[in-house]
Amino acid sequence: MKFVIETEVTKKSLARAEAILVPIWLKGEKLDYWGEVYELFDKDDQEAIRSYVESKKFKDGETKWLYIKGVPTFVLIAAATRFDRKRIVLLSRQLVRMAKSEGIKSVGIYLDDFERDNLAAETVTGLAAENALLAHYDFGEKFKSQPVGGWKRVERFVFLTEKTSKKIDEGIARAEMIAEAVNECRTIANYPASDMTPEGLAEAAKTALRGLKNASVTVFDEKRLKSEGMNAILAVGKGSAAAPRLVIMEYAGGKKTEKPLVFVGKGVTFDSGGLNIKTTQGMMDMYMDMSGGAGVIYGVAAIARLGLPVNVIGIVPAVENMISGLSYRQGDVIKTYGGKTIEIGNTDAEGRVILADAIEYAKTKNPALILTLATLTGAAMVALGERASALFVKNNKPLQDEIEKIGRDSGDFVWPLPLWDEFDKELEGAFADVSNAHKKHPIGGAIVGAAFLNYFAKPLPFVHIDMAPRMMTLPEEEFLAKGSAGFGVRLLSEIANQYLQIVKLVK
């Protein structure tokens, strides 16, 4: 999709888009103010729009499509008492998805209208450009047969504004970069497990970083995992014909003396549950159980592509949790990379087991902060639903608040759950240092998972994000294609962008 900026806003520039957004402001239930874009239509069209709007009752947040005779032909009428970031995000996606399904090739938005609600033109452009690209993406086009005439595409997004600024251009360039990384992340998460094995995930990491300055990828194969003593990764991977890997991505954009942020992502390419097998329903989307790994891979890639002046390391343990005569079992005791031992209470709590080795390895990198990103528990979804990932920050309220805010601004929403020291009690096993399953399962599942990971990360500053709630989009409500939400890319790159602030808070 091409982004075009029209700075001379006249009737003529309006005609560059086949579909355009017309915002109307409400005061309570009453129509209060028409966006200035309305003034640009021909008198006949204005009349058509006005009589349509007056014949309907618009509620706050409501939108309706209107077909008119003039140009543009399609109008997306959006009513609100206030147009905030969330509204702009949804409206730009809605414009693109509707246009795409109708075969409309160009859409437009008049930026200056939103100054009324204190959104600067460059803010609206950045949000609209990013979300237009996210809404245009559809993994369904990968495997389905093409319809006659090919897939419908939106080719142009026109921004109308009377202001020019370098900030608008830069905002678009940045939005394109980020959206591309999010969409690539969605693609590797959406691939079925047969096409995305642990080795495939390692290859994807190499591809994501190829040709970038100061960036490198190292992959530990099975032999190396053995010689390093990464027995937890090996144990979970044993039941699969596809051998496990550990993927290490290093980006050195900062000073040599600066400690890296280390992001660790769960890369379970398929989670059958192992011998504690899942149900048919429970196994349905488990080819996406590497979504945390995908988020880390493309989070690091985005940071490297933006050339941020920070040091970042991404670590992704990649395994397939399968059933065979070689599978790990309940009762098995595993010695991890760092020497701590785990007893297996449930082979379906495999994510935390592989992350134990990866976290211990992360500790050898002298990190400023260890952050894990994982589709760790169904319990996180029970607690939070599907709109925010669970955020756990060990004993650091200011850092928790900062990450919550970064989540809100980036669009990767996170919401806190507690990670107090008391929860360590829940980890006790009979014979090993810790058990991977809580005796009182299923209570507090997401927290117990986080406490387990913290046991390996301590005493270093630790953040865990259980992204099971945001593994997939809500297609109808979010105006995004079905499948992976690409969660984590925007959150991690923004955390890296705010490195100085983050480091201040962990000290």
Residues that bind Zn ion (CB under 5 A): 268, 271, 289, 348, 350-351
CB of 284 to ligand BES, least distance (A): 9
Instruction: Using the minimum distance from each CB to ligand BES, give the nearer residue, 19 or 491.
Output: 491
Q: If contact means CB under 5 to 8 A according to the sort of partner, which of ligand BES, Zn ion, none does residue 378 touch? A: ligand BES
Touching ligand BES, residues 279-298 (CB under 6 A)? 289
CA distances from 180 to 133, 135, 238, 302, 496 (A): 8, 12, 35, 9, 18
- Please identify which residue in 261, 294, 468, 485 interacts with ligand BES, judged by CB under 6 A: 468
- Please identify which residue in 274, 367, 445, 483 interacts with ligand BES, judged by CB under 6 A: 445
- Please identify which residue in 356, 471, 481, 492 interacts with ligand BES, judged by CB under 6 A: 471
CB of 374 to Zn ion, least distance (A): 8
Identify whether the C-beta of residue 58 lies closer than 8 Å to the C-beta of residue 31.
yes
Please list, in sequence order, all residues whose beta carbon lies within 8 angstroms of the beta carbon of residue 359, skipping any fewer than 6 positions away: 264, 370, 372, 453, 456, 457
Give the SS3 label for residue 125: helix
Q: At what angle do helices 198-209 and 166-190 cross, to 10 degrees?
A: 160
Residue 248, interface with ligand BES (CB under 6 A)? Answer: no
Residue 271, interface with ligand BES (CB under 6 A)? Answer: yes
Q: If contact means CB under 5 to 8 A according to the sort of partner, which of Zn ion, ligand BES, none does residue 441 touch? A: ligand BES
Touching ligand BES, residues 328-387 (CB under 6 A)? 346, 348-351, 375, 377-379
Residue ranges with strand state E in 150-307: 156-160, 215-220, 245-252, 261-265, 267-271
Strands 462-466, 369-374: pairing is parallel
Query: Catalytic positions, please?
Result: 278, 352
Residue 437, interface with ligand BES (CB under 6 A)? Answer: yes
Touching ligand BES, residues 21-60 (CB under 6 A)? none
Residue 113, interface with ligand BES (CB under 6 A)? Answer: no
Q: If contact means CB under 5 to 8 A according to the sort of partner, which of ligand BES, Zn ion, none does residue 468 touch? A: ligand BES
Identify whether the C-beta of residue 381 lies closer than 8 Å to the C-beta of residue 468.
yes
CB of 441 to ligand BES, least distance (A): 6
Instruction: Using the minimum distance from each CB to ligand BES, give the nearer residue, 201 or 301.
Output: 201
Furthest-apart CA pair in the chain: how many Å? Answer: 81
Q: Residue holding tokens 């995000």? A: 89
Identify whether the C-beta of residue 319 lies closer than 8 Å to the C-beta of residue 272.
no
Residue ranges with strand state E in 51-179: 63-67, 74-80, 106-110, 156-160
CB of 236 to ligand BES, least distance (A): 10
- Residue of 436, 223, 220, 240 lying closest to 340 (CA atoms): 436
Residue 231, interface with ligand BES (CB under 6 A)? Answer: no
Instruction: Using the minimum distance from each CB to ligand BES, give the nearer residue, 70 or 378.
Output: 378
Nearest residue to ligand BES by CB is 378
Instruction: Using the minimum distance from each CB to Zn ion, give the nearer residue, 61 or 282.
Output: 282
Residue 473, interface with ligand BES (CB under 6 A)? Answer: no
Give the SS3 label for residue 107: strand
SS3 annotation, 404-470? HHHHHHHCCCEEECCCCHHHHHHHCCCCCCEECCCCCCCCCHHHHHHHHHHHHHCCCCEEEEECHHH
Give how many residues touch ligand BES by CB under 6 A.
Answer: 16
Binding site for ligand BES (CB under 6 A): 271, 289, 346, 348-351, 375, 377-379, 437, 441, 445, 468, 471
